[in-house]
Each structure stands twice: as C-alpha cells, then as structure tokens.
Structure 1
Amino acid sequence: MTDALTINPPSRPLRGQVTLPGSKSITNRALLLAALARGTSHLTGALKSDDTHHMAHALRTMGVIVEEPDPISFVVISDGVLRKPNAPLFLGNAGTAMRFLTAAAALVAGPVALTGNAAMQKRPIAPLVASLRSLGIVVEAPTGCPPVTVRGRGSFDGDTVTVDAESSSQYVSALLMLAAGGQRPVLVALEGDAIGARGYIDLTVTAMRRFGAQVERQGATAWMVQPGGYRAADLHVEPDASAATYLWAAEALTNGAIDIGSAADAFTQPDALAYDLIRRFPHMPAEIDGSQMQDAVPTLAVLAAFNATPVRFVRVSNLRVKECDRLRAMATELSRLSPNLAIEEVDDLVVTPVSPECFRPARIETYADHRIAMSMALAGLRVPGIAILDPACVNKTYPGYWRDLTSLGLALESELSHMR
C-alpha cells in the first residue's frame, strides 16, 4: 500500500492530453433517477469511483439491476420501485448518495437505515430530515447526522415542503427528486434565499426532465414538481468540472498545455466557473466568492499561494461541512509550506503569497479528503519535497488522478509502508 506520494517539480511545462472522469454529481443523480424509472436506462461517460460505487451498490440492495458493461457505462433496469433492503445501506463518505437516498427511501414500503463511515457520521443532515418530516414522512436521526432511519410507506401525501439549503444544495436536489414520487403536485421552496451552489439544483432539474419528470421553477426560490414519477432514458454524462480545475491549475502553474477534451464553457457544472479565475493567474482578484463553486475553492487556494497578491475567499463557510472542514484543512496544510501562508478569519480563507525561497518541504495530511489531496498536490509543481499522505483517497471521485499527472510528465515517488 502506498502511504505517500512525493511530487518532484517538473523541469518543463506539463503537456499532453487527459480524458477526464465523468461528473460525479451527474452520475449519482442519473443512477438514482434511472432506478426510480420503469424500463432500461443507459448511462455512458459515467464516473466509476468510490462515491458512485456506493450509490450503485445501495440501489442493487433495493432490488434494482445495475450492470457495468464497461469502465464508463451503467445499464440500469428497474420497474420503478425501490424495495426494503435486508441490511443498512452503508454509503462511506458519499454525501450525494446519503442525502439523495435518505429522501428516496420515503418511496420504499418499509424501514430503510442509512449509515456511513466516521466522517459521514459528522456531516449534517438535520435540515433534510426536518423537511421530510414536514411531508409526513417518519425519519429518525438522533444526532442530526447519519445514521438515519426512514420509515417509508411507498409514497407520501404532502404537497408543500420548505428547506434550509444554506449549508447544502443537496437537500434541495434530494427533495426535488423525491417529489415526483408523491401523490400530488409538490412545491419545493427555500427558507430564505441563501443556498449553497445553486448551479447543482439546475443539474438536478435538467436530469429530472431527461427522465420524464415535470418540474417548473416558481420564481427565484421555489420549484413545482408534478406527480407521475420517471421513465427510463439514455444519458451521456459530461466530464467532471471539479476534476478539470486541477488540470487547468496544473497548466497555469507550469505554463503548460493540457488538452482535457472539453472547452470550459461546455460544462454545465458550476465548478467550471473557476476557469476564468485560473486563467487570470498570477493576477487573480483580491477577493473570490466561492459560494457557487465550492469544490473548486481548494484548487484556487493553492493557486493563490503563488499569486502576485493576496486573495481572500469569502462565502465559503459551507466548506466546513464537506468530507472534512476544508477551510481549516487548507489553512493548516498550506501553512506547512510557509508559516501563515493561509489563515482562517471567521469563515473566510485568506492566502498571502510569499517569495519562492520562503517555501519548504512538507508532508501533507489529507484528512481522507480527495479534494485536499488533489489540490495540495498542485503545490508540488512549484515547491520541492511535497509529500501527499494517503494518496488513495482520490479514489472517491478521480481514481486515475495520479496516473494522469504522470502521463503529463510529472514524476512521483511512492513511499510504501514496508519501506519504513
């Protein structure tokens, strides 16, 4: 087992072509919608990673046939009914799977328990639980985090639900996908106007419509979903925009030329908004609002360490409830390279660049968080002696990350447990 990967700064610009993995966000939405649809659905260009494997396995345990004919495809065969599993659904630290399946479990006739690893059991789910209860669904989550038990009745009768989506847009997406399985039209509305990464709700609505649902926006903060469920469909999953940010940043840091096969404006995922900021490196703006491209913030924070001027990241408090507290993690790990390189100021992250001679080698803790590993690896493109601990955590969303960097000309040195 590889315990660490040390990155040797390249002696030349990184150049080449990389085939990005499919979007995790779209793949997990499509898997669930296909499982709720009657018929056979084909998903191509899909992501195969820890997160999507957790979703696929959970659906199989609820009676859905999920086949994997090749490394980038799923075939989902369903009668549109999810059945009571014989054991709790274990979802690792897959946030989309946990939130989406907690809502979908209301459509199961019988109790469904959902749990995850230790990190998942610290991730909040109380706002979603409260919204489900308002629809008359019996849900138990004693700690406000997983494990969760949903005592479904096969459908539900509620017609209006509000949700506090300030900490996660996934709550809204979960309720929207559930709503099409109701007995009557359902209005899904926000409490207030604060919402994390609104673009992901647009992804959800687009996917729902592809699978036959009728959903219409009602002003800026509500959606009306008609009953009737879903019908099978074929869907090609676009490449993962969050993954693209690492390659865009690697290109910027090395003055390279990396072909990822998609133009930035071809992505529908919100993290693609980071491209315009990365393109401005080393003159990124003094303040960056990360609220609508949350998974790109760690990438941008590493770039900021080499920017010409300091960068403050604002409206990023939601990063505290991801796979780890990413604000604290990025401040801590960047500051291993140079003291106070990055600091937390309440819920802002402030990165103040230093001259190259102030950087030092560092062993980077990753907190079992794929985004910390992948973003902090970018620092190794400029700073000698950067070692990424637990590099296999990238399997959550981008299993081929290290292979792809190597293919571009980056040299990595493995540290194995038996060598210590």
Structure 2
Amino acid sequence: MLNPPPPALTIVPPNRPLTGRVSPPGSKSITNRALLLAALANGTSRLTGALKSKDTTLMAAALRQMGVTVEEPDATSFVVTSAGRLQAPAGPLFLGNAGTATRFLTAAVATVEGEVIVDGDDEMRVRPIGPLVTALQSLGIKASAPTGCPPVTIAGTGSFGSGRVEIDGGLSSQYVSALLMAAPLGDGPITVALTGKDIGARGYVDLTLAAMRSFGASVEQLDAGSWLVQPTGYQAADLLVEPDASAATYLWGAEALTGGKIDLGVAADAFTQPDALAQAVIAQFPNMPAVIDGSQMQDAVPTLAVVAAFNNTPVRFVGIANLRVKETDRIRAVANELNRILPGLAMEEGDDLLVASDSNLATKLAGRNARTKIETYHDHRIAMSFALAGLKLPGIVILDPACTSKTWPEYWQMLAGLGVELKPEA
C-alpha cells in the first residue's frame, strides 16, 4: 500500500499516545561527507549505519562516474575503494536537488585533471552557489557558474592549490565544509577563513571537521573563523554513521503532540548533529519559548513550527533566513501550509516566521474535518513535518508523499508501524 507511496495520503489522528521503538535512518549529513572522504582516500573504507536515500544514492553514483568503486553489501552499508584521486567523468554529474552533494563535489572535483560539470534538477538550478565558485577562483581554480547557481563547470588541474581562501558562510555552511574537505588535497597548507562572523549552522562545520579527522586529515582551528588544513590527503577508514538527528525531530514531535513515548535507541544528548538541539525545545511543549533561534538547527525548523501551531502561546522563529534557499523557500512554504490549515495561523515578518498559536487551535478546528491538502513543494521536510499536524487534526492530506525518499524512504511505513492509519488518495 505504501511502497511506492500513492499520489496523496490522508493522516488519520490516532487519538492515543504513540509508543514504540523506532530506529531513525543514518545521518544524511554524515553519510554524504563520509562517502566523499572515502572516495578521496587511498584504500578501502567501510561505512556502516549509513543512509540509503535519494541524496546519498546520487552522491554514490557521481563518485562511481569518477572511477571510485562503491559497493552496497546491505541496506545500511557502503564499501568504498579508491586510489585516493577522482578521475574526470565521461559526462556531467547530475545531483538532483541534493545540496550537500552538489556543494561538496563542486570543490572536490577541482582536484580532477580535466573538465567536470556539476549539475542538478530545476530546483537545484535556482539554489545559489556563487560564493563557493568565487572562493575556488581565488585559489587559481578555473570554475564558472554564469547564473550564480548550478550548473558549475570546473577545469581541474589535479590539485587544490595552496595559500588562503576566504568564503562567505552566511548563506550556507556547506560552502565552508566543501572547501575544508577538498583542502587536504592541496599543494601546500591551506587556510580557510570566513569573511564575516555569520555562518549558517556552524555545527555542521564541526561535523565536517570530525569526519575529516576520521580519514586522517590534519586540521587546526586558528580562531572562531579560520582553519589551517595540511596537505595530508586522506587514508581509508571504517566509520559508523550515527542516526539522523533531523529525522529524530519528527519522532520527538510525534511524542509531544500525542503525549507518547518513542524509543529511538539513542539519547538526544548522544547526537553530534546540531538539529538535536530541537529536542530540548520540543520537550517544553505546549509551553515552547516565545522566541526560537533556528540558526543552528535549520532543518528542524519546519518540525518545530508545526509543533508550535499547537502551543499554548505564539512562537516567533528568528535566525532562519537561510531557509529561503533550501530545497524550497521553507519560510514561505511553512507559512503557506499552516495558513491552509487555518488562515492567519502563520505570518512572514521579514525573514522571521511567526506562528500565531494558541491553546484553542484544536477546538477551533474540531468537527470541521475539512480536507486540507498540504502542498509539499517537492520538499521532504515539508511532507514529514506536516504529517505531524495530521496526528492532531482530521483531514490532513499530504500531497506527493514520495518526496520523503530524499532522506527517509521508509517514513510512512514508520508512521504506520506506530499505529497511525494512512489512507491512500488517488
């Protein structure tokens, strides 16, 4: 019934606490970092607990195009064998709307001898990549992106250069991570420095540094905004990928909204990913803070916003401007869909999102049972977060539920396994 998902799904409120044991999928962020670093390492690396989803499949396919052997012995493992260098592919690398893969590979393919085109789907072709291209050019790398978005053409010379490279990380921390991961393949030491104090989700840079060190890189943080990377290259390693904290937010949200208890098999404070910070906020439901800074847990904001719709008091989300350049403009998407549930429930105020929640929302909607069709904008996080609204309100219909395959292909099976009734719609 759910494999593949139908064109639309109606979520039936369970009217009881959700309880059970759910193992979130492996971290997308760590899996895609580890795949790339293993491909840049000399030898065979084994990645276990990894995520198999659309984004990681696209990354693995691109690496295979560049001469890397990527085997998949089971549902949560990759075995990556490489000579430590990427080869020029026969054609463009197509990465769909996978932001991590696109940004990371744009820098990494500069170490290829030959021309490489990094491209994506229509959504990716409007996601900015100009700051990263400019930074590569400052290292003497021939890179161009005429629109400021993919496709990007890189004429690699087999090296990542040396010296100092500056990057504006305010729009995306992925630019910073991309430079850092490619830097060990330079001719000499490379200093990666921020041009300003702002950086989107700094915790993801910390994830990058940890992954790099796991594969033998030598990175020294000089100050809050710069890192010195030695030209060590990488060595093969085995890595256990931790569960995905962004995926865990939907389970924490389901717990809060239904008064349930879901065992994830890992404590919130055991995650190294920044989105795990959301658990402490969700735990305060239905009295979440009046102001929530989402800058360091960006992928958790749609979850938090849907949960906040049922809070006792209004919630303002700040520090979330970067959400406008994700898979879709998530600030606008969340506001649109909350207002589809109840007009006036959400407002965009500059780059802030105000959720005008109150303790009577469920009462206002009780008995209405209007079929509310939630547009998902081809965005997995919009689909998964708004499914949580269906745990409280009847008539929530999620359009294009298959888009969750980007990071959690079994999301709907997971909800069904917890006892949530899902009605396929034609």
Partner of 1:408: 418
The answer for the alignment partner of 2:172 in structure 1 is 168
| Residue 357 (1) aligns with residue 363 (2) | yes
Q: Does 1:21 align with 2:22?
A: no
Q: Is the 8 A contact 2:9 2:398 kept in 1?
A: yes
Matched, 1:393 2:399: no
Deviations 1:86-138 (A, max 9, x none): 01000000000000000001000000001111000010000100100000000
Instruction: Give the C-alpha shift of residue 415 in structure 1.
Output: 1.3
Instruction: Give matches, 1:323-342, under 5 Å.
Output: 323-342=327-346
Q: Which whole-Å CA distance do the structure 1 matches of 2:417 and 2:11 have between them?
A: 14
Q: Which runs of 5+ in 1 are unaligned?
A: none
Please give the secondary structure, in 2, of the residue aligned with 1:395.
helix
Give the aligned residue type for 1:312. Answer: R
Q: Normalised by the size of structure 2, how large is the TM-score? A: 0.97
Check whether the contact 1:199–1:270 (CA below 8 A) recurs between aligned residues: yes
Write out per-residue CA displacement over residues 165-190 of structure 1, whole angstroms, 9 at most, x where no aligned residue: 00100000000001000000000000
Q: Take 1:390 and 1:41, find their aligned partners in 2: how far apart are those partners?
A: 36
**1:54 is the counterpart of 2:64:** no
Partner amino acid for 2:364?
C
> C-alpha offsets along residues 290-339 of structure 1, whole Å, 9 cap, x if unaligned?
00000000000001100000000001000000000000000000111110
The one-letter amino acid paired with 2:181 is M
| Matches of 1:301 and 1:332, distance apart in 2 | 12
Determine if contact 2:8/2:401 at 8 Å carries over to the other structure: yes
User: 2:219 aligns to what?
Assistant: 215
Structure 1: which amino acid aligns with 2:180? L
Query: Which residue is 2:292 aligned to?
Result: 288
Q: Select which of 308, 316, 323 maps to 1:304.
A: 308
Structure-1 residue corresponding to 2:393: 383
* Distance in 2 separating the partners of 1:338 and 1:289: 24
TM-fit CA distance, 1:157: 2.5
Alignment check: 8 A CA contact 1:136 1:158 kept: no
Q: Which runs of 5+ in 2 are unaligned?
A: none
CA distance in 1, matches of 2:303, 2:375: 16
Deviations 1:214-272 (A, max 9, x none): 00101110000000210000000000000000000000000011011100000000000
Please tell me whether the aligned partners of residues 340 and 372 of structure 2 are also in contact (alpha carbons under 8 angstroms).
yes
What is the rounded CA distance, in whole Å, between the counterparts of 1:157 and 1:296 in structure 2? Answer: 36
Whole-Å Cα distance in 2 between the matches of residues 288 and 19 of structure 1? Answer: 27
The equivalent of 2:245 in structure 1 is 241
% identical aligned pairs: 66
Deviations 1:333-362 (A, max 9, x none): 011111010110000000011422333541
Amino acid at match of 1:366: T
Structural mapping, 1:19-418, within 5 Å: 19-354=23-358, 355=360, 356-359=362-365, 360-416=370-426
One-letter identity of the residue aligned with 1:232: A
- Cα-to-partner distance string for 1:10-55 (whole Å, 9 max, x where unaligned): 0211111111100000000000000000000000000000000000
1:317/1:348 contact within 8 Å kept: yes
Shift of 1:156: 3.1
Q: What TM-score, normalized by structure 1, do the two folds share?
A: 0.98
